């Protein structure tokens, strides 16, 4: 038998703790994020990108003279410039493994290393000329904010590089650790740590990356303002009182609602709330009750006993959006639960490793005589109660948020490498065989039920990295895939009669319902591009041959799905992918540049290797 690690390959270096705390680490990381975004959203679309060996490039970069890998070369004719950066290999999906800083040449000037301001200004100027719009200073500021936040997070990390293995600690603590360890964040966003409304002190007090824990802050509001719902019939305010343990009693005519402590301060500064407090309509009851842990989304908090999550409103921009809970999103979330409950037993029998966390209740407010100007303020009270992790933990599931493993830079890669090494040693596999078998289990557990919901029932959840948890067993192998965040559920035409039967209001029904193409775009991006592309790149860790082997496993997973569930819509979409049709990739850079709401985001075609790999099962090597 081969040694379990006898087939290890050259991998990109992991940063040491001291390197990650170096003053320029976050700047270098953001340069690479900008290249990721620009390559996928612009250069690949305009065919201004190439990956070649150093010796094939005209106009040598002196700083790359000793580089032995490939070089990513991007021309920017609109701004008379060129970018080059060392990478390990070609990537059809722009999941590059970078090995050098980014180098820039403008006009006939010589090559120089680009710092984040150079690169940001250049790309924003290029996009401005492309779109015929003014320079976007706001985006430049967001990138700077994100760098400052990321570097502060990295500076506060313990001085250790030992990867943390989920199976080696108390499962709940390991799960919380995974939610709070997104150190570099979304690899295809220009400013993944942008939280401009928080001071450095607030960042450290409230951010998951700083291992925060907090009590909620409570307001008493008039009962006449309250809007609420609960899928199980219990009064939503009573449910929240029980879940948070605040032990407060409302005065006659009033109800008590929880807020994030930062949101409570924001509310007190709003003229309408300040006036209501002066007149005794609203009372500030202060922080009380059980502690909660912020998770990867920042505003979703996990109770200390893990029995529930609360998704709170934050009237601040985090990456793309102001993060308050709009009423139609709250109603959509509970509708997602109600629709899925009708399918749950059948899904459990067919896909025992698949679980959807239920959204069970919400509270929000509507002001008397509310107009459009009041809506953002009213939505700032929105709270969503979600099923927690306690039942899954009691069943022996070891959950880890996927975003902490995949797409989390070299930190995630170190963690994944440790998990797969453990799996390899447990079974006596080579690393390559272990990687293929591990990925095969993950892909089937995630892909089959999500496609089944879409093609057989017309339901499209949002299974991107931050919304997806993977449950591991004692040997580190995936046994469960767990989805959360149902408020952006979309219903293709075949599911819409079920939604109409629930007698939803017109605004909620309009948000939920969409055409087949939009439903597919949701799954094509969230599951395949945001999720599986990152999983493959992370597991391959710079090994191009292994990466193609994992795409081969995914092709086999899709073929196997069609053999089991040959729905005509599934056949059309999957055969299209296997023949080389592109996937939809979300344009996060373009969305931020154009100052668009997330729902207005553009999707660009992303080509992939599914058509050129052989579809061999994982166990065939």
Q: What number is the average pLDDT over the span 75-81?
A: 98
Residue-level pLDDT at 373: 65
Residue from 420, 477, 421, 416 nearest 14 by CA: 416
Quote the CA–CA distance of 13 and 362 in Å, as a whole number: 46
How many of the other CB atoms lie within 10 Å of CB of 173?
A: 10
SS3 at position 395:
coil
Which residues are within 8 A (CB) of 88 and not within 5 positions of it... i.e. 6 or more apart?
Answer: 12, 69, 70, 96, 97, 99, 542, 544
Residue-level pLDDT at 376: 84
Could you read off the pLDDT of 560-591 as tens digits, one per residue? 999 999 999 999 999 999 999 999 999 999 99
Confidence of residue 293 (pLDDT cuts 50, 70, 90): very high
Q: Is the pLDDT of residue 16 over 50?
A: no
Q: 3-state secondary structure string, 571-595?
A: HHHHHHHHCCCCEEEECHHHHHHCC
Quote the CA–CA distance of 445 and 553 in Å, as a whole number: 13
Quote the CA–CA distance of 53 and 398 in Å, as a whole number: 43
Residue 80, both tokens: 């008379």
The answer to whether the Cα torsion of 102, 103, 107, 109 is positive or negative is positive
- The lowest-confidence range among 36-45, 266-275, 302-311, 366-375 is 366-375
**Do the beta carbons of residue 592 and residue 191 sit within 8 Å?**
yes
Which domains can be identified in the chain, with CATH numbers? 25-155 (2.30.30.1240), 213-390 (no CATH), 397-606 (1.10.510.40)
Q: Is the pLDDT of residue 44 over 80?
A: yes
Residue-level pLDDT at 600: 87
Confidence of residue 29 (pLDDT cuts 50, 70, 90): very high
Confidence of residue 7 (pLDDT cuts 50, 70, 90): very low
Residue pointed to by tokens 């609960």? 230
Q: Is the pLDDT of residue 426 over 90?
A: yes
Confidence of residue 357 (pLDDT cuts 50, 70, 90): very high
Which residues are within 8 A (CB) of 303 and not within 5 positions of it... i.e. 6 or more apart?
Answer: 243, 244, 290, 292, 309, 310, 388
Q: DSSP readout, 315-370?
A: EEEETTEEE---HHHHHHHHHHHHHHHHHHHHHHHH-TTEEEPPEEEEEEE--TT-
Residue-level pLDDT at 498: 86
Confidence of residue 504 (pLDDT cuts 50, 70, 90): confident
Could you read off the pLDDT of 295-339 as tens digits, one per residue? 999 999 999 989 999 999 999 988 878 889 999 899 999 999 999
Could you read off the pLDDT of 238-255 as tens digits, one per residue? 888 998 999 999 999 999
Residue-averaged pLDDT of the chain: 91
Which residues are within 8 A (CB) of 531 and not within 5 positions of it... i.e. 6 or more apart?
Answer: 402, 406, 446, 463, 464, 465, 468
In DSSP terms, which residues pair with 306 in a beta bridge? none
How many of the other CB atoms lie within 10 Å of CB of 128?
A: 16
Instruction: State how far the alpha carbon of 73 is from the alpha carbons of 47, 57, 83, 86, in Å.
Output: 11, 9, 6, 9
DSSP H/E element including 51: strand 49-53
**Do the beta carbons of residue 580 and residue 607 sit within 8 Å?**
yes
Quote the CA–CA distance of 549 and 431 in Å, as a whole number: 13
Residue 520, both tokens: 């597919």
Quote the CA–CA distance of 473 and 446 in Å, as a whole number: 16
Could you read off the pLDDT of 93-146 as tens digits, one per residue? 999 999 999 999 999 999 999 999 999 999 999 999 999 999 999 999 999 999
Confidence of residue 10 (pLDDT cuts 50, 70, 90): very low
Quote the CA–CA distance of 20 and 26 in Å, as a whole number: 8
Q: Exposed, middle or buried by CB within 10 Å (0-12, 13-18, 19+), for 394?
A: exposed
Residue 436, both tokens: 């293929």
Residue-level pLDDT at 6: 34
Residue-level pLDDT at 55: 85
Q: Is the pLDDT of residue 9 over 60?
A: no
Q: Exposed, middle or buried by CB within 10 Å (0-12, 13-18, 19+), for 139?
A: buried
For the chain, the farthest-separated pair of C-alpha atoms sits apart, in whole angstroms, at 80
**pTM attached to this predicted model:** 0.93
Quote the CA–CA distance of 34 and 439 in Å, as a whole number: 28
Q: DSSP readout, 161-221?
A: -PPPPGGGS-HHHHHHHHHT--SS--TT-S-TT--TTS-HHHHHHH-GGGT--EEEEEEEE
Could you read off the pLDDT of 371-424 as tens digits, one per residue? 666 888 999 999 999 999 999 999 999 999 999 999 999 899 999 999 999 999
How many of the other CB atoms lie within 10 Å of CB of 163?
A: 16
Q: Going by DSSP bridges, is the β-strand pair 81-87/70-76 parallel, antiparallel, or unpaired? A: antiparallel
Quote the CA–CA distance of 372 and 142 in Å, as a whole number: 27
Phi–psi pair at 77, nearest 5 degrees = -65, -25
% of the chain exceeding 90 in pLDDT: 79
Q: What number is the average pLDDT over the span 479-496?
A: 95
Residue 599, both tokens: 């729902």
Quote the CA–CA distance of 12 and 404 in Å, as a whole number: 18
Residue-level pLDDT at 312: 97
Residue 206, both tokens: 């409230």
């Amino acid at each position: 038998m081969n040694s379990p690690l006898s087939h290890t390959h050259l991998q990109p270096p992991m940063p040491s703790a001291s390197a990650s705390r170096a003053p320029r680490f976050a700047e270098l990381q953001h340069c690479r994020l900008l290249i990721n975004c620009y390559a996928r959203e612009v250069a690949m679309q305009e065919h201004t990108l190439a990956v070649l060996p150093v010796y094939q490039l005209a106009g040598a970069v002196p700083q790359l003279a000793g580089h032995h890998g490939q070089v990513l070369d991007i021309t920017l004719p609109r701004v008379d410039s060129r970018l080059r950066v060392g990478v390990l290999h070609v990537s059809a999906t722009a999941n590059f493994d970078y090995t050098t800083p980014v180098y820039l040449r403008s006009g006939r000037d010589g090559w120089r290393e680009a710092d984040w301001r150079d690169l940001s200004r250049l790309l924003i100027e290029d996009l401005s000329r492309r779109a015929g719009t003014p320079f976007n200073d706001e985006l430049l500021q967001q990138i700077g904010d994100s760098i400052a936040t990321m570097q502060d997070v990295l500076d506060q990390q313990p001085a250790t590089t030992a990867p943390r293995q989920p199976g080696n600690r108390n499962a709940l603590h390991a799960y919380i650790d995974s939610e709070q360890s997104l150190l570099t964040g979304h690899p295809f966003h220009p400013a993944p740590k942008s939280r401009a409304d928080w001071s450095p002190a607030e960042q450290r007090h409230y951010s998951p990356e700083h291992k925060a824990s907090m009590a909620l802050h409570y307001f008493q509001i008039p009962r006449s303002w309250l809007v609420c719902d609960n899928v199980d019939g219990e009064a939503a305010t009573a449910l929240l009182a029980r879940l948070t343990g605040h032990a407060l009693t409302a005065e006659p005519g009033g109800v008590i609602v929880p807020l994030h402590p930062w949101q409570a301060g924001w509310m007190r500064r709003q003229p309408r709330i300040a006036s209501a407090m002066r007149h005794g309509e609203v009372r500030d009851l202060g922080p009380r009750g059980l502690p909660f842990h912020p998770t990867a989304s920042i505003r979703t908090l996990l109770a200390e006993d893990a029995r529930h999550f609360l998704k709170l409103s934050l009237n601040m921009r985090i990456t793309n959006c102001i993060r308050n809970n709009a009423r139609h999103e709250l109603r959509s979330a509970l509708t997602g639960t109600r629709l899925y409950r009708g399918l749950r037993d059948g899904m459990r029998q067919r896909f025992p490793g698949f679980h959807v966390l239920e959204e069970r209740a919400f509270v929000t407010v509507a002001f008397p005589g509310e107009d459009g100007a009041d809506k953002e303020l009213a939505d700032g009270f929105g709270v969503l109660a979600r099923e927690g992790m306690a039942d899954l933990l009691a069943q022996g599931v070891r959950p880890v948020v996927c975003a902490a493993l995949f797409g989390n830079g070299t930190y995630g890669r170190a963690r994944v490498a440790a998990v797969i090494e453990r799996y390899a040693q447990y079974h006596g596999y080579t690393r390559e065989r272990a990687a293929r078998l591990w990925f095969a289990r993950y892909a089937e557990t995630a892909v089959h039920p999500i496609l089944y919901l879409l093609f057989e029932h017309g339901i499209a959840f949002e299974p991107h990295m931050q919304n997806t948890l993977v449950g591991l067993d004692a040997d580190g192998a995936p046994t469960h895939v767990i989805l959360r965040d149902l408020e952006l559920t979309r219903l293709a035409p075949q599911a819409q009669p079920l939604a109409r039967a629930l007698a939803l209001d017109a605004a909620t029904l309009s948000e939920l319902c969409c055409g087949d193409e939009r439903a597919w775009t949701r799954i094509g991006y969230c599951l395949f591009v945001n999720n599986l592309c990152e999983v493959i790149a992370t597991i391959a860790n710079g090994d191009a041959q292994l990466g193609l082997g994992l795409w081969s496993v995914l092709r086999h997973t899709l073929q196997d799905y069609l053999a089991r569930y040959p729905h005509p819509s599934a056949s059309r979409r999957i055969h299209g992918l296997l023949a080389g049709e592109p996937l939809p990739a979300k344009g996060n850079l373009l969305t931020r540049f154009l100052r668009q709401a997330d729902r207005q985001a553009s999707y660009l075609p992303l080509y992939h290797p599914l058509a050129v790999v052989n579809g061999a099962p994982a166990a065939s090597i």
